[in-house]
Amino acid sequence: RSSAASDVYKRQVVLGLLAIGNTLNGLMNVPYALQLATGDAKPILRINTGLIVISTPIIIFLANKWGGVGAGVAWVGYTLAFWVINTFIVNKQFVYLDRRSWMLNGLIKPISVAFMIVGIGYMVRQLINSSNQWAIFAIVIVTTGVTFGLTALSSPIVVRYIKGWSS
């Protein structure tokens, strides 16, 4: 690869990692809000303090070793760890929640659909193999729209809302 192509590729990887980290950040808002709604912010404070202590040297190491890609990996790791830990704490606190249904319908199905559609969009992009920026932009826009629509429709809550809204 040429130097310019390599730089573009690295930027794409960093942007992808930051997007994944921000998606996980959005996912962690639901258990975070539930935790705050109980009036007990101590678990959140403990989780964040622990993760900051652990992730700060990791971020420094990864950023020094791999630059922006390393920092992006650290961001994904931080948000994933916070989401997993806080989700388990909230599930213990709210024992009446149907965990299996929530994990399957609220998480696994929508995320699986999103990954499948994005994977198909990536394959289409590779098949077209165009250097035309407008064609690439169109593929990204269509993939994003289809991903958003089908992911939303894979969630029973969204489907119930749409059915109630149309009647």
Per residue in 80-124, pLDDT (tens digit) is 888 888 878 877 777 666 777 777 877 788 888 888 888 888 888
pLDDT band at 167 (very low <50, low <70, confident <90, very high): low
pLDDT band at 58 (very low <50, low <70, confident <90, very high): very high
Estimate the share of the chain in helix, then strand, then coil, as percent rounded to the nearest 5.
90, 0, 10
Residue 46's nearest CA partner among 10, 71, 20, 82 is 82
The pLDDT of residue 70 is 92
- What is the rounded distance in angstroms from the CA atom of residue 78 to the CA atom of residue 97? 26
pLDDT band at 161 (very low <50, low <70, confident <90, very high): confident
Q: At what angle do helices 29-37 and 42-66 cross, to 10 degrees?
A: 150
Q: What is the mean pLDDT of residues 52-67?
A: 92
